[in-house]
């Protein structure tokens, strides 16, 4: 069973690494999504660059790859801790994909998929984490008009909800790991042409709360990622 577990972890990472948003932008527009908008390899940036028709299948794929690997772990008889590990491997693959030199998306949708399937396949458990996640994301969007703030709050609340619902410890620790992965990914996001102009403390706060280097959302999504800016500066 240990051999099967290792193979599943590898498969989960590789499936998570498939950069659906990057591929969709290449196939539909012939462009590198990393050179447009926020530079993020994710569905939100893809939707701004292309259309909902192109972005929605990517959202479904990113949601499903985390769910699929957790479900596969359960089907072959792995315990909850190992199911959690498979889900985390898929999230890590999405965030640090081997196919894009370990610089991918933020993993919010894949995290949502893992958080949704874990309670559903492990007994008569209500996925309260998803209820809280959606509530936080919705409130964040309605009040602050900041989706990253709501998503971050939702992911931060999931381990607390799991602990309060007296769910299995591996599941609660898994939700905590998802939160820590989100924090690490936001703080280690690639630099842009304006990163150096932002004070360090403000930069950390902006990345943690808003998943960007500056508070101004419109200026952020209109900026040129660092590689494109450097390329034009040499011309």
pLDDT in tens, 188-197: 887 777 777 8
Question: For 123-192, where are the alpha helices, taking DSSP H only?
Answer: 128-139, 147-164, 169-187
What is the band of 145 on the pLDDT scale with cuts at 50, 70, 90? confident
What is the rounded average pLDDT for all residues in the chain?
86
Residue 103 confidence (pLDDT) above 50: yes
Average pLDDT over residues 202-216: 87
Give the mean pLDDT of 133-143.
80
Q: Is the pTM of this model over 0.75?
A: yes
Q: Across the chain, how many H-helices and E-strands are there?
A: 12, 0
pLDDT at position 232 is 38
User: How big is the CA angle at 219 (ends 228 and 41), to the nearest 5 degrees?
Assistant: 50
Better-predicted residue by pLDDT, 104 or 145: 104
Could you tell me what percent of the chain has a pLDDT over 90? 43
- For the chain, the C-alpha Rg in angstroms (whole number) is 18
Give the pLDDT score at 125: 62
Section 179-201 average pLDDT? 87
For the cut 60, the answer to whether the pLDDT of residue 89 exceeds it is yes
Residue found under tokens 């030199």:
101
Q: How far apart are alpha carbons 61 and 19 in whole angstroms?
A: 10
> Quick one: tokens of 110?
């894949």
């Amino acid at each position: 069973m240990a051999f099967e577990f290792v193979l599943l972890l590898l498969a989960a990472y590789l499936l998570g690494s498939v950069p659906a948003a990057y591929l969709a932008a290449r196939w539909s527009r012939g462009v590198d999504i990393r050179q447009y908008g926020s530079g993020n390899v994710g569905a939100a940036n893809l939707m701004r660059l292309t259309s909902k028709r192109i972005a929605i299948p990517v959202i479904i794929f990113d949601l499903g790859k985390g769910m699929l690997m957790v479900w596969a772990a359960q089907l072959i008889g792995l315990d909850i801790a190992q199911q959690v590990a498979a889900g985390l491997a898929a999230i890590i693959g999405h965030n640090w994909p081997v196919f894009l030199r370990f610089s991918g998306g933020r993993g919010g949708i894949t995290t949502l998929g893992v958080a949704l399937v874990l309670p559903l396949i492990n007994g008569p458990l209500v996925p309260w984490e998803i209820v809280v996640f959606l509530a936080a994301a919705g409130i964040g969007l309605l009040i602050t008009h900041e989706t990253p703030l709501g998503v971050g709050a939702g992911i931060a609340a999931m381990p607390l909800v799991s602990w309060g619902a007296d769910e299995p410890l591996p599941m609660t620790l898994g939700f905590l790991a998802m939160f820590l992965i989100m924090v690490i990914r936001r703080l280690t996001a690639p630099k842009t042409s304006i990163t150096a102009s932002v004070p360090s403390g403000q930069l950390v706060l902006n990345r943690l709360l808003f998943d960007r280097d500056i508070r101004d959302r419109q200026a952020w999504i209109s900026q040129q990622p660092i590689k494109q800016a450097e390329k034009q500066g040499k011309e």
